[in-house]
Amino acid sequence: MKKNYFLSLLLVIFAFNVNAQTGSIEIVSIPLSNAAGTSASITITYTSSVPCKITTQLRQTNANATTVDWGPWNGEVVTSLPAATNATHTISYPIPAGQTISTSLPSGVKYTFAFKMATTADVGFAWNDGATANLTTITAASGIQNSATITSAPTTVAAGESVIINYDYYLANAGKVKIDIRKYNGSTWLSTGLVVESYIDPAAASSTTVSGTQTLVIPVNTAISSSLASGENYKIAVTLYDASWTWILENKSDLTITAANLAINDFKLNEKITIVNPVGDELILNYKDLNAQTLRINDISGRIVKSFKNLNNFNSIDVSDLKQGIYFLTLNSNNAIKFIKK
């Protein structure tokens, strides 16, 4: 008798606990429109007397667009939440990129969100499946389109000079970007025709325009355009690759390379000093036992890259650490002389 009484008491307590959960789900906001491949940000307020799980489902309505069709399945998101009263919570619901868009649904059928509140043991006790109130529209995936654009670049440059290339690009997925100057035959690039190149590796995926500037120096010994074979030409190219170096696309612009401005001529400083261009690792000043209170070398941007004071009995300077390009030598504040580092 006592055993039966005890079992009956347990059943009563269990039944009370099962039915004791109370709760509600109220919708604060649902996006009116979502592109496939994006996430819908849904804000709710909820009240639950116990820790709970809220299941969010993307559903379709019947053709009357006022009741939910529980047949078609479009996925769900389950969120665990603590007991609370009128608590606000935002649910991020991912819309698959391949989701059928609203305009392709049967006539009269629309998308709607349905919500269920359940105990942690999955016993449901509150719902919000208002088909009319929770409607949303799924549009075509906006999708980032890979693109590359040369926004500005010179059309003519002398061998030994710098080329400043401004560009924009989009990358839907992380990959690589190459900026180069190369010889082409018509529109076909020549495998042995590379002049100079630079890389962005890795290049992150981008949802907005990525703008950049690249400075490339044309080697002084580059064949000038007028000496190329018939049909050959130089082009600047900005090329996109995926992460495994698979070519995606490129944007090109024509470039004419002319003879080096300094060629191999001697230029004089104060009628005393001459420099033979191009210069290797050592800058030879053809003047014996030179003395200088100050000597500096600036790059083409004006930045001082080397400076010396109180030099005596010298006729050369180590420039092996300088990159290829154009530089200016100033001695004792006299007029600068330009030289090319090869």
Residues 89-115: what's their mean pLDDT? 87
Per-residue pLDDT tens over the stretch 21-38: 899 999 989 998 888 778
For residue 291, what are its two tokens?
A: 């003395």
Pairwise CA distance, residues 73 & 250, whole Å: 42
Adjacency order of strands within the sheet including 247-258: 156-158, 247-258, 232-242, 175-185, 188-203
254 has a pLDDT exceeding 90? yes
Out of 6-15, 77-86, 243-252, least confident range: 6-15
Mean pLDDT of 142-153: 81
pLDDT at 228: 95
* Mean pLDDT of all residues belonging to the chain: 83
Cis ω before 202 (30° cut-off from 0): yes
For range 291-308, the mean pLDDT: 78
Neighbours of 174 (CB within 10 A): 12
pLDDT band at 286; cut points 50, 70, 90 = low
pLDDT value for 14: 45
Provide mean pLDDT across the span 190-203. 91
What does the angle CA 141 – CA 143 – CA 144 come to, to the nearest 5 degrees?
165
Residue 292: pLDDT band (50, 70, 90) is: low
Mean pLDDT over 94-123 rounds to 87
Q: Output 270 or 127, whichever has higher pLDDT.
A: 127
Vertex 20: Cα angle to 19 and 21 (nearest 5) = 95
Residue 4: per-residue pLDDT: 52
Whether residue 176 contacts residue 244, with contact meaning beta carbons closer than 8 Å, is answered with no
Residue 258: pLDDT band with limits 50, 70, 90: very high
Segment 166-179 mean pLDDT? 90
Residues 211-230 have a mean pLDDT of: 89
Inter-residue contact 257 to 272 (CB < 8 Å): no
Contact 110, 196 (CB under 8 A): no
| The model's pTM | 0.43
In angstroms, rounded to a whole number, what is the distance separating the alpha carbons of residues 46 and 120?
16
Mean predicted confidence (pLDDT) in 90-117 = 87
Please report the pLDDT score of residue 216 as a whole number.
86
Domains in the chain with CATH codes: 2-139 (2.60.40.2550), 155-258 (2.60.40.640), 266-341 (2.60.40.10)
| pLDDT reported for residue 303 | 78
Lowest mean pLDDT among 87-96, 292-301, 313-322, 327-336: 327-336
pLDDT at position 265: 39
